[in-house]
Structure 1
Amino acid sequence: MAHTALKTLILLSTAVAVLAQLPASVQDQNSITLDDGRTVRFKESNLCETTEGVKSYAGYVDIADDKHIFFWFFESRNDPTNDPITLWLNGGPGADSMGGLFDEIGPCKINEDYATTELNPNSWNNVSNLLFLSQPVGVGFSYGSKLDIELPIDETGTITAPARISVADYASVNSTEIAGDDAWNVMKMFYAALPEMAPEVKSKTFHMATQSYGGHWGPTFFNRFRKETQAMEDNAPFQVGALMIVNGLTDFRLQYPSFPKFAMHNTHGVHVNGIISAYMEFSLIMESYGCLALVDVCEQLWDLTNGTTIYGANRCQAAAEVCRNTVEMPFLAYTKRHNYDVRNSTVEPGEYHLPDARYTPYLNIPEVQQALGVDLNYTRGTNSEYLGSFGYTGDFVNPKLLKDLEELLDSQVRVSLWYGDADWVCNWFGGEMLALGTNYTNAEEFGAAGYAPLMVDNTHYGDTREFGNFAFTRIFDAGHAMPFYQPEAAFAMFNRVINGKDTATGEHDLIHDYTTIGPSESTYSQMKGKPKRSLQGSAKFRNRL
């Protein structure tokens, strides 16, 4: 999920209009041929991360003749030899991780001139090596093939400029599982090339952080990585560490019941009337034709066929469409608020700033493209073709994702769920329901844990429920791209997680029976005198688990 298409088009049009030329051929690119004959191409980049002595590399992992995955790797500012590697993925499906790099957790921010950068003091490469991938193939600078075309650069489409764009077979990567196959190939090849490309980086500890549709990517990719590396034993390229999911969508059954509740009781005071709320609730629970009833059918067919039949895919696609159109969308239509930040109106300028995708024109600067080793124009932050191809297979409602999450937890992998509390599309009520509804060995102990304040530099940024290797955190006053809104809190949580400390304070070693102590509900409200009532006390909610 990404920025508006109109803003992206405007930014792209500005960049292409200025350049009005095709990207130049890449010069002086290194190429590593691996044992299986496949290649990793890269250049040492001097962009974005300008801290003295800190290196970065960008290029392509050529996993197949028609799959060339763009990467940008930043060494740690602290200790690149011993610090872990963390993979960041944006969601979508089809949202480019360049959004996470420039707007959220990467080493730099792009200035208002769209051409220069400044260092980000809260970059996650303060304590970890950082890897960003543009995936699936065809997203961002990743490509299957290249096409030279004329792109419209005005609103009427009559004025054009030459551009070279990425092309891919979008129907060939149309599920989280298939995307996971490609991700595993990328990681194997990346680690195989690492000793030659970045010889100082030695750590075998690997973490993953992901956002939005990353609620799909995270459980499936990371569980796949866990199984593959365990099977390889001493020959494994890395060992999985922690998984962090930011405002993620993982399970329709657990998360969609949150929409009617959030519409009436969110803590920002943006509420629908009783009629709209009743319609959303009825659409959720209506027998046979409601959201949850159709999710039931999808899950039953998925269990029988493993999501491999056209009929099953159609039923899952139908469930997703009904849930979105009748349970999710009425709030947005009624309130005219932004789906990524309910504090912002969609009809007039808002008080709260949204990520603005300055990276689109920046990545079309010829010198930037040459430094990154690309000869493509950067056309958009989100590839909408993947919304269609993943929707067609019913992947949005894939029930296996929750099972992957539960397997990770039962395998003692640390999992942290973080939700900004102003987001609508992946709201924190649903995140809480997901956390409490995850059925793993210590689910009862996790549910019994209280909320502890998330404290960073004596500031209360949110509330955390944590038991052992599982945590859920609500972050106050943050939208969908949570690290953009609360960078200090996001960095502190990340630092604590990868260093084995508790999320709320960072003062305690995380042992298997560590638990947070506090109230059973996160009651902070941005509305004066109106604390929010948590969902888990609802008998209706308990009956759905």
Structure 2
Amino acid sequence: MFTALYQQSTHTEIGLWYAPDEVTYLPGMMFKPNYRQWSGHLKARPGRFFHYWFVTSQRDPLKDPLVLWLNGGPGCSSLDGFLSENGPFHVNDDGATLYENTFSWNKIANVLYLESPAGVGYSYSDDHKYATDDDQVADDNYNALQSFFAKFPNFTQNEFFIFGESYGGIYAPTLSLRVATGAAKINFKGFAVGNGLSSFALNDQSLIYFGYYHGLFGEDLWRKLNINCCDKGSCNFYNSSSETCKTLVCVHYRCTGKGKLRLVSRSVKWRCFVALCFRSFLCSINDNNLFNKFSDQATSFMSLGEVPPCINSTAQINWLNRGDVRKAIHIPDTLPPWDICSDEVGQNYVTLYQTVKEVYLKLLSLGLRVLVYNGDTDMACNFLGDQWFVEDLGLKATSLYQSWLHEDQIAGFYQQFGNITFLTVKGAGHMVPQWAPGPAFQMFQTFITNEPI
């Protein structure tokens, strides 16, 4: 078992690597890695520290791009992306051993995984106050980035990209705006959002169409929705003033919920992945007591604390909470056990951006590259809502809507609008690198190298 990690450096600027955080041993490692890694904490503001895990590129660390990865929630850990999606190794079902991810994104890039905001994973605040909002998180992430570059100054010249997933659809562009307009000298080239929440209205509006055209409810309900929610061909499923329409929309959510395609309950661990994508809908019906009625029914699908098999994180939780693992990645004994999502953060989070349209337009005006990609089977933050979002930016299409190939098979579809590309990944769900690792790696490679898909 290769528990001693790769230590020989091919880099001449060895003095610029932050030695105290280097991970030189990992329990359960079943292969010998050809990259280096660090784990520790970055200062987000006085008394607030974000846990990071940084892995160097397996190719050419000093020349390859640097990528920041952010999972969503809000309140969910980016270590889920590390250990289940695009990191260099994943955890076996035994929760004790690790295996190599052949489609790891650090094959061609240095990747920084940041647990954000405070209260998520091993990130913490000295005052234990974890209420926060979109702008504060963006500011804290920007400060943490500067803390990272202070520890690793030799990466300031590398091309830098930000990737966000799910509620990272808010995190990534708001942080990108700070990076693009801030004083810190960062070689920022662009950002990408995977199955992201970019507009509450468009996400919720599109979900009704997604459900109907995927056969998730029948013609009778569709006809009633059109009669009560639509006028002269224009439909409002998002915030209709019609009580009948609201009730019918709730029936739709109940139908899809029974299929366990999404979850509404705010009290179980995995709700962070999906329920916040529907928060605008849930809040809009809260005043009519429909939220409580629907939420009560949704909680019956699973018992509290149960981890659903579709995104089972038991192995990751068990491995990260082992005493020898915590010691290896420099986690203080005073910090609580790691969990994939924080209910405290999620329940006390304040959303400030109902849409990030204006943020996108500002960033695109600066010449940055942008990728919006979606697994096309996801109902949490569905592809249609993000497609509408990109089209609503009002930019001229510079390519046709067309297919792209992975290993001579159709892997999805894409369309370009100048510097922004909308892309789907065929058959993938909410976490694209997990469900379609090969196509996801190809997509990642072409984006950071600015090559055609």
User: How far 1:46 sits from its partner (Å)?
Assistant: 3.5
Match of 1:44 among 18, 23, 34: 23
Amino acid at match of 1:99: D
Aligned to 1:471: 421
Moved more, 127-136 or 47-56: 47-56
Determine if contact 2:78/2:114 at 8 Å carries over to the other structure: yes
Aligned to 1:481: 431
Q: 1:86-485 residue pairs with structure 2 within 5 A?
A: 86-145=67-126, 168-171=128-131, 173=132, 175-195=133-153, 201=155, 203-228=157-182, 232=183, 236-266=184-214, 270-278=215-223, 291-292=238-239, 326=250, 329-333=253-257, 335-338=259-262, 354-357=310-313, 358-374=315-331, 375=333, 376-390=335-349, 393-395=350-352, 398-399=354-355, 401-439=356-394, 443-446=395-398, 449-485=399-435
Distance in 2, Cα, partners of 1:69 & 1:283: 48
Determine if contact 1:285/1:293 at 8 Å carries over to the other structure: no
Distance in 2, Cα, partners of 1:84 & 1:377: 33
Provide structure 1 residue ranges, at least 5 long, that are not aligned to the other structure.
Answer: 1-38, 146-166, 295-321, 504-545
Equivalenced residue count is: 385
Amino acid at match of 1:218: A
Residue deviations 1:163-206, cap 9 Å, x none? xxxx73122x2x211100100100011101104xxx5x564311
Amino acid at match of 1:134: E
SS of 2:23's equivalent in the other structure is: strand
Residue deviations 1:201-246, cap 9 Å, x none? 5643110111000111111111111011xxx3xxx43121121111
Aligned to 1:537: none
User: How far 1:459 sits from its partner (Å)?
Assistant: 2.1
Determine if contact 1:188/1:237 at 8 Å carries over to the other structure: no
Distance in 1, Cα, partners of 2:320 & 2:108: 26
The change in CA–CA distance for 1:75 and 1:84 in structure 2 (over 3 A counts) is same
SS of 1:44's equivalent in the other structure is: coil
Determine if contact 2:211/2:217 at 8 Å carries over to the other structure: yes
TM-score in terms of structure 1 length: 0.65
Amino acid at match of 1:244: A
Distance in 2, Cα, partners of 1:224 & 1:279: 45
Determine if contact 1:81/1:202 at 8 Å carries over to the other structure: no
TM-score in terms of structure 2 length: 0.77
Distance in 2, Cα, partners of 1:324 & 1:180: 37
Distance in 1, Cα, partners of 2:225 & 2:254: 7
Determine if contact 1:137/1:144 at 8 Å carries over to the other structure: yes
Distance in 2, Cα, partners of 1:90 & 1:502: 26
The change in CA–CA distance for 1:487 and 1:53 in structure 2 (over 3 A counts) is closer
Amino acid at match of 1:258: S
Residue deviations 1:247-278, cap 9 Å, x none? 00111233322111111103xxx420234335
Distance in 2, Cα, partners of 1:327 & 1:410: 42
User: How far 1:43 sits from its partner (Å)?
Assistant: 3.4
Moved more, 126-135 or 55-64: 55-64
Determine if contact 2:194/2:432 at 8 Å carries over to the other structure: yes
Determine if contact 2:258/2:301 at 8 Å carries over to the other structure: no
Determine if contact 1:212/1:426 at 8 Å carries over to the other structure: yes
Determine if contact 1:71/1:133 at 8 Å carries over to the other structure: yes
Determine if contact 2:225/2:249 at 8 Å carries over to the other structure: no
Determine if contact 1:89/1:97 at 8 Å carries over to the other structure: yes
Distance in 2, Cα, partners of 1:65 & 1:41: 20
The change in CA–CA distance for 1:453 and 1:142 in structure 2 (over 3 A counts) is same
Aligned to 1:3: none
SS of 1:256's equivalent in the other structure is: helix
Distance in 2, Cα, partners of 1:92 & 1:284: 30
Residue deviations 1:95-136, cap 9 Å, x none? 100110011000001112111101111000000000001110
User: How far 1:290 sits from its partner (Å)?
Assistant: 6.7
SS of 2:348's equivalent in the other structure is: helix
Percent identical residues: 25
SS of 1:423's equivalent in the other structure is: coil
Aligned to 2:4: none
Residue deviations 1:333-376, cap 9 Å, x none? 354434589xxxx979xxx9733212100001111100110023
SS of 1:188's equivalent in the other structure is: helix
User: How far 1:52 sits from its partner (Å)?
Assistant: 4.2
User: How far 1:323 sits from its partner (Å)?
Assistant: 11
Distance in 2, Cα, partners of 1:324 & 1:176: 32
User: How far 1:40 sits from its partner (Å)?
Assistant: 11
Aligned to 1:79: 60
SS of 1:70's equivalent in the other structure is: strand
Distance in 2, Cα, partners of 1:327 & 1:482: 29
Determine if contact 1:40/1:190 at 8 Å carries over to the other structure: no
Determine if contact 2:216/2:256 at 8 Å carries over to the other structure: no
Aligned to 2:292: none
Determine if contact 1:284/1:291 at 8 Å carries over to the other structure: no
Determine if contact 2:52/2:115 at 8 Å carries over to the other structure: yes
Determine if contact 2:211/2:256 at 8 Å carries over to the other structure: no
